[in-house]
Structure formats: structure tokens, C-alpha cells
Amino acid sequence: MTKSTMWALCGAASGAVFVFVAGILTIQASGLAAGAQYALNNSVQSIITPRVPYLMMGALALLGLAAIFALTVAMRHRSRASQLAFASSFSAATLLLVIASFALGATGMTPATPMIGVAPGWQGWLNRGGSSSAVHLVFLLAVGLLWMRSRKPQRAPHDATASPPQRVNTLLRSAVWGLLGMLMGVLFISVIGMLSAQVAARRLGVVLDLNNMVTAIASSTVGYLPMIAIALLSALMVFALTVAVRNRLRKFRVALVVGFSAATIVLLAASFILAPLRGPKAGLSIGIEPGWLGWLAEGSSTPAVHIVVLVAVGALWASLRTARSTPKQSESAANARIGA
């Protein structure tokens, strides 16, 4: 068995494990939020007080971050063929399971347990894992990474640190980049919250307006378009925080990521802290608050948002680490030239 074949099998297995574990964590999180504790076979084990599933949401975000780490950092020292094999098989396995999840859900081949709405056993894991925004985001990132690695190697982008602008101009522009990052964070959570509310409403068989109010009763469907929009928007945000600003001055990149991270973390913390204090919700069968409160609540509980925040923090850490190592490398090069 060649190394490429071995890495292809590892990628396919990793994709399958990722989808099913994401489904288990999603089911557990939804159960805690609804006031029920699920057993591993997705049956109700006990009735508890509803609470925010911090642990499960954190575990799902870390799971997505681990998958991204495996696709990028962990494979960077492998051969190009091994990298392509791992990423392509991971993407293929994830895509097939997502399609299977939607297909089985649409045909009704995964009967839900009465009064719970979750299919038993592996069928429930597949349903919830295949519809998780975390899975969709990681899949898009894997496809994007596969496309980048399949291209011919290009010259590394120039870091605009050789001729920095004047100090006052740099500080002003850094502040502008920081404010831009904060605005991106606020809009990101708000739009994701609007889309997540539409996904939940279509699953429950109702039609919501942009104010999260019920306007009509319809048949229960899978919100394909809002799910796709959530995944694309999340992937676009990761691209904007990492790749799109790569040729900018390091200070501007740091300011953008710091602004985005600060805004999103503050909004997430405010949403979680205020969750027990929220007032009556729009409709007993919906449980989504009206207006921006509903957008904030739904956006803060979307797994893709948590993964993007962790990626932003990781990008900030990597940028700061590079900034500390660059002067040392320059000093070593200067000493070598003097010695010569």
C-alpha cells in the first residue's frame, strides 16, 4: 500500500468520524438547550432544567478546529501527493455523508423518536452531523485547501513591512482596520443568526419574516439555501481574516483580526450571559425571539460562528508569533554578514 493510498484512507475515516461525532455533540447540545439529557442512542435519559450547552458547543468548535488543523498544519510537512490524497478523501467522505443526511431526511427513511425529533442511533448522528454548520464550513475549507494545493507553487506574497508608512498614518489606518474588523464581527453574527432562524423555522414547518415572527404554517422541510448561505458566509469570513489581508502590513492584519475577535467574543458572551434573563419569545412552538435579539441568540449558538472565532484567534496568535521571530531572524542574518 502506497503512502498516498494510506493517507486517502485516513482522510476518508477522519471525514466520517468528524461528521458522526459532530452529530452526537449537536444532539447533546440541542437536548440540554431543550431541557432533556440524551443517551448515546439518542433516547431521552432524563428531564433537566434547560440551560446553555457551553461544554457541547465548545467541544464542537474544538472538533472543527481540530479538523482544520489536521488538514493544514499537521499535513504541511507531508508530500504534496499525500496532502492532496488526505484532503480529497476527507472532502469526498464529508460530502457523501452530508448528501446522505439530506437524502434520508427528505425521504423519511430516518424515523424520529416520538416527542424528541431525533432519529435513534447512527441515523440521528448522521442527520444532525450532516446538517451541522460546522461540518459544512470545514468541508468548504477542505475543498478550498485542495484547490490551493492542486495549483502550481507560487512565490510567497511580499510582507509589506520593508517600507512602512509614517507612524501617525499607521496608527490611524490600524484604527480603521480595527473598526472594520468589529463591524465585520457584528454583521457576521447578525446575518448568521437570521439565516439560522430560517433553518430552524423550516425544520419546524413555519415561515418567519425578517423580524422572526411567524407569518404562515408550511410543511416541514430542510433549509438547504440558508444552510448553504451560512457555510459560504463562514468560509468567506475565514478567507477575509487569513488570506485576503496577507499582503497588508502586519499591524493592519493584527488590527483587523483583533477587532473581529473582540466584537464576536463580546457578543457571544453577552448572549450567553443574558440567556436566562431573556423575556417571552415569539411563539411557543418556535422559541425564537423577535428582531435583533433573535439574531444574536441564534447566531451565538451556531457552530460555524464558534469555529470562525477560534480560527481568528489562531490567526492572531500565528501573526504575533511571526512578528516576534522575524526580528531574531533579521539579527542573525546581520551577524552572519558581519562575520563574513
pLDDT tens, per residue, the chain with 340 residues:
588 889 999 999 999 999 999 999 999 998 888 888 888 888 888 888 888 888 999 999 999 999 999 998 888 888 888 888 999 999 999 999 999 988 876 555 444 444 456 778 888 899 999 999 999 999 999 999 888 877 755 444 455 444 555 555 778 888 898 999 999 999 999 999 999 988 888 887 888 888 888 888 877 788 889 999 999 999 999 999 888 877 777 888 888 999 999 999 999 988 888 776 655 444 444 567 788 888 888 899 899 999 999 998 888 887 777 766 655 554 454 454 444 4
Angle between helices 133-150 and 54-71 (to 10 degrees): 10
| Cβ 222 vs Cβ 277: under 8 Å | no
What is the pLDDT at residue 203? 81
What is the pLDDT at residue 89? 94
Amino acid at 35: G
- Give CA–CA dist 68/118, Å, rounded: 28
- How far is CA 226 from each of CA 89, 145, 188, rounded to the nearest angstrom? 26, 23, 14
| pTM (2 d.p.) | 0.81
At CA 201, angle to CA 291 and CA 219, rounded to 5?
A: 145
Which of helix, strand or coil describes residue 46?
Answer: strand
What is the pLDDT at residue 326? 54
What is the pLDDT at residue 215? 81
Residue 263: closest CA among 318, 184, 337: 184
Residue with cell 485576503: 244
- Give CA–CA dist 5/251, Å, rounded: 42
What is the pLDDT at residue 306? 94
Q: Please measure the distance between the N-terminal and C-terminal CA atoms of the chain and give it in whole angstroms.
A: 49
| H/E element, 216 | strand 214-217
- Give CA–CA dist 33/27, Å, rounded: 10
What is the pLDDT at residue 277? 63
Residue with cell 499582503: 247
